[in-house]
Amino acid sequence: MVSFSKRDGNDSEPDRVTVLSFGLADQRYCVRVDAVVSVLGVGDTTTLDDAEDPWNAGSTTVDGERIRVVDLQRIFGATNRTPDRADDSELLVLTETDAADLRYGWLVDDVDVTRTVSTADLEPARRSARFVRGRFEFDGQEVVWLDEHEMHR
């Protein structure tokens, strides 16, 4: 596996957190950097596109470790059609594991950079937004902060 950052996400100031931003279609998202083990390039996504369940769109093995693929574009977008994917999709391999001890991997269009942000700048999520911690603005664009623990409960 190829690690993208040596930062552990634990910043010295209590209201600061380091996040990794990524894209799905036209929307930007982020997750805590310490929730991600690595970022992997994904070649052909055809079998993932045809998976019946986007929460378990398949699995892959990297360095002897199985990773359960979660197709975020189909979860957050229209599930009744094939997603319009980027040519070079990527897999965010998370520290979270399922009941069978498989790590979760989020299939995303692209991965951006890490940023350290102040949680005081976080716009809270609506109560109906179960997987969302809130929203930040990066360079004039809204970025949705996903809660990886809620995603896989």
pLDDT digits (tens, 9 = 90+) for 69-101: 998 888 887 555 556 666 778 899 999 888 888
pLDDT of 7 higher than 60: no
Nearest CA-CA partner of 23 in 84, 96, 100: 84
d(C-alpha 112, C-alpha 22), whole Å: 5
pLDDT band at 12 (very low <50, low <70, confident <90, very high): low
Q: Which two tokens stand for residue 151?
A: 């995603």
Nearest CA-CA partner of 59 in 73, 72, 75, 48: 48
d(C-alpha 97, C-alpha 152), whole Å: 8
- Enter the pTM of the model: 0.80
CB 89 within 8 A of CB 108: yes
d(C-alpha 102, C-alpha 34), whole Å: 18
